[in-house]
Structure 1
Amino acid sequence: MRLLIVLLMSSVWALTEAQHYYQGLMDYLENRMLAIEDRMELWNDQFHRYRAELQEFKKLTVDIMDGLGKGHSSLRLDLEGATGRVNRVESEMDYLETHTSPRACANQADMVLELGAWSEEESVGDEEDEDEWGEVHSSVSDCEDIVSSIRSVKILKRVGSPKGLWIRDARSSKVYVFNGTAEDTLYQFSSVLDFSSSLGVNHSRQIRLPSVWRGPGSAVYNSYLYYIQQEADSEIQVVKYDLRSGMVTDSAILPVDSSAPVYSLNPETTADLAADDEGLWLLYAIGEDEPNIHLAKMDPATLDIEEMWDTRCPRENAEVAFIACGTVYVVYNTRLASRSRIECVFDVNNVMLSEEAPLLYFPRRYGAHASLKYNPDEKQLYGWDDGYQILYRLTMKRKLLV
């Protein structure tokens, strides 16, 4: 009996302990649930607050974007209006410059030095000498055209350095690019279209030359490259390079002072080669003290200098020059680049009248020309202006006296 009572008492005590344990566990779980509910309520409040702030921010952003869109439209309209006004001003400037500006000075070829046959004293003599001189003089060029105006302008693309040269061989469709002012690499494209659609000079056929060309004064004539070479303070040479065989075929030392640039605004151009309907020409300066640009007619086969002239076109403020039909057109500008214009014309045949000299201003673009090369087949100028490659299509007319 006593044992039974002890067992009952032990059972009651165990049940009481278990009840207290489970009651404590339930209280703990209930407290945790209440804490979780409090946190959920806090998170819910924060969510609603953040959502309201986000909606307010979204509305503010939409308003700002609407304002920016209206401002952009207004700015675009203002820019279009400004562009239209600038175009009108440029058109008016072109008109005024064409109709009121003084014509370019047309110099006569009254001094010719033919190496081995003529001297400076023999070129000025009595009337009999003048008759003989007239015979030689008239045979320099058979071309009868002069530049009348710029018919159209096309900005092809922008590639390479601010200064350089690009040109199309008049005897083929190939285009050659000289990037910079001194390099031993020439970039060849199959056509103007190929060049315009390319991604840059690196996407072309690269021709490694045996020496470095200096200045943007090279010329391409009948599948031959003629470029200026100068090492340190050595004499200036013109090198003839066969683009088909990849070999140098000839070279000649030029009568040029190595420190004297042809154009004061492009000091990198110590000599400027040009090819036109009549053959190969050289523009150069005799020395620093010589104020004028000199011209020489070269034999493209042997690089011999056939005749030489003093154009009496000043080097000061000269930007570039080009030769078309045996006539030199010198382009001038200012130190702070403005509108390029032709101010001096020299005709080797001495048949251009002063009133025929063109009133020619180039459209204002980016900076100043580093080079201008004439293509006689297309009657176009290939210009390099602050890294932009530009095509100028020219209008030609017959000379009054031929």
Structure 2
Amino acid sequence: MGTLIKLLAVASAVTLTVRCQTQFMEYIERRLNSFEQRIAVWYDQTQRYSTEYREFKNQILAFVENLDKEKEEQRHNLEIANSRIDRIERELDYLETRNPAPTCLEVDEKFTEQVAESAQEKKKRKLKIAGCEEMVFNIKAMKIVKRLETASGLWIKDLMSDTEKVYVFDGVSNDTIYEFTRLKDFTDFTGLIKAKKIKLPYPWAGTGHIVYKGFLYYIRSEPQFQVIKFDLKNQTVSDSAMFPAEQQIPVYGLSPFNYIDLAMDENGLWAIYATRDNEKNICLARLDHKTLDIEQMWDTPCPIENAESAFVICGTLYVVYNSKLRSRSRIQCVYDVTDMVNTDLAPLLYFPKRYGAHSSIKYNPREKQLYAWDDGYQIIYRLTLKPKSEL
């Protein structure tokens, strides 16, 4: 009897164990089925996402391809427009020189009497700027002399000397300039390796410097704006003067590194500058090159905005303008201190070619040429001058 009970107990335990194993296997099977379903859903979603991604990628590629085609088309249209604008500018220049527009002014006699200078005062002013009555009629040719890596800078000769030395200011601020014995040395060799280095006692600022009769006249900006007269032969400072204008601002809207731009013409030394008191227009001053004293100052009607450089010929200021998107440089404002010529009478002149913007333009009175630095290119512009009375 005891044995039978034991056998029944064992059979019951075995049955329970089998039932538990069966239930566990069913659970495992349900979980596996659930995983398989989730994997199937994930696979379907992945396939759908992959298809959608390929379709989106194809759409993007087609869109980019269309953009490239439109960009090329727009570039071609811009080239055509540029070509047409250049042709129109040349035609306008030709028409203006052949058929100058007649001046038509209605003058109020009382107003004229109130604002006009007396004949005697005008005579005194003109006597101060004597011996030169020419002005620019045309920019007849250009010559690219060299190209340096620096976008902005200055290169000049001694403006009133027979020496062939060339002086290079590489950049817009430094304390060292480069001297070449002749122009050929400057053009024949790469960079500035053939130059003699001249270290200045004070750093120069901007591109408004000149060399005149063996002296370098340059601008020092710190602690205040000064004109330094430096003897290139003796390597010494001959004189210096604080510039009398207060609260100075950049004189050219497109060349913010220039606060004072020195110029030399047949009549002497000039300073082109701007102040906050007259923040819209350029100012002009005549200096004594021996003492650096200011002899006379003028407020000009030439705007600072979009100006890139300027120069002086026979007492006439020529301001060169461009645009922020870099178009062709042009002489758009003329101011004559003798009142013989104004912007309305002067021809609108365009420079032959554009690269970027002129960081410096210097007139050489002895050669009747402009020495310019345009986006790293060193350029000579040959000028046609005519008497002011013929305009």
TM-score (norm 1): 0.69
User: 1:282-329 deviations in whole A, cap 9, x for unaligned?
Assistant: 000022752110000000000000000011111111110011111100
Pair 1:184–1:160, CA change in 2 (3 A)? farther
Q: Does 1:178 align with 2:173?
A: no
Pair 1:264–1:126, CA change in 2 (3 A)? closer
Which position in structure 2 is the counterpart of 1:157? 146
Pair 1:283–1:154, CA change in 2 (3 A)? same
What amino acid sits opposite 1:92 in the alignment? R
Matched-pair contact (CA < 8 Å) for 2:174–2:205: yes
Which position in structure 2 is the counterpart of 1:190? 181
SS in 2 for 1:217: coil
Which position in structure 2 is the counterpart of 1:139? 127
Which position in structure 1 is the counterpart of 2:334? 345
Which position in structure 1 is the counterpart of 2:93? 98
Which residues of 2 match residues 209-220 of structure 1 at below 5 A?
209-220=200-211
Q: Does 1:297 align with 2:289?
A: no
Matched-pair contact (CA < 8 Å) for 1:298–1:306: yes
What do you get for the CA RMSD once the two structures are aligned?
Answer: 2.8
Matched-pair contact (CA < 8 Å) for 1:356–1:399: no
Which position in structure 2 is the counterpart of 1:253? 242
SS in 1 for 2:371: strand
Q: Does 1:309 align with 2:304?
A: no
Matched-pair contact (CA < 8 Å) for 1:235–1:258: no
SS in 2 for 1:331: strand
User: 1:103-136 deviations in whole A, cap 9, x for unaligned?
Assistant: 99x9xxxxxxxxxxxxxxxxx9898x72442232
Which position in structure 2 is the counterpart of 1:64? none
Deviation at 1:345, TM superposition (A): 0.2
Which position in structure 1 is the counterpart of 2:194? 203
* Structure 2 Cα separation of the partners of residues 370 and 183 of structure 1: 16
Tell me: higher relative CO, structure 1 or 2? Use CA pairs within 8 A at least 6 residues apart.
1
Deviation at 1:154, TM superposition (A): 0.6
SS in 2 for 1:165: strand
What amino acid sits opposite 1:134 in the alignment? K
Which position in structure 2 is the counterpart of 1:396? 385
Which position in structure 1 is the counterpart of 2:365? 376
Pair 1:94–1:305, CA change in 2 (3 A)? same
What amino acid sits opposite 1:95 in the alignment? R
Matched-pair contact (CA < 8 Å) for 1:338–1:364: no
Pair 1:93–1:194, CA change in 2 (3 A)? farther
* Structure 2 Cα separation of the partners of residues 131 and 252 of structure 1: 34
SS in 2 for 1:161: coil
Which 4+ runs in 1 deviate beyond 4 A? 85-91, 100-104, 124-127
User: 1:334-382 deviations in whole A, cap 9, x for unaligned?
Assistant: 1111111111001111112555402200123210100000001111110
* Structure 1 Cα separation of the partners of residues 371 and 327 of structure 2: 19
Matched-pair contact (CA < 8 Å) for 2:270–2:286: yes
* Structure 2 Cα separation of the partners of residues 153 and 91 of structure 1: 17
Pair 1:95–1:239, CA change in 2 (3 A)? same
What amino acid sits opposite 1:279 in the alignment? G
SS in 2 for 1:195: helix
SS in 1 for 2:349: coil
* Structure 2 Cα separation of the partners of residues 195 and 86 of structure 1: 38
What amino acid sits opposite 2:181 in the alignment? S
User: 1:66-89 deviations in whole A, cap 9, x for unaligned?
Assistant: xxxxxxxxxxxxxxxxxxx99975
* Structure 1 Cα separation of the partners of residues 286 and 374 of structure 2: 27
Which position in structure 2 is the counterpart of 1:275? 264
* Structure 1 Cα separation of the partners of residues 296 and 133 of structure 2: 20
Unaligned stretches of 5+ in structure 1? 1-84, 107-123
TM-score (norm 2): 0.71
What amino acid sits opposite 2:276 in the alignment? G
Quote the sequence identity (%).
Answer: 47
Pair 1:91–1:316, CA change in 2 (3 A)? closer
What amino acid sits opposite 1:329 in the alignment? Y
Matched-pair contact (CA < 8 Å) for 1:227–1:238: yes
Pair 1:87–1:289, CA change in 2 (3 A)? closer
* Structure 2 Cα separation of the partners of residues 205 and 188 of structure 1: 5
Unaligned stretches of 5+ in structure 2? 1-79, 104-112
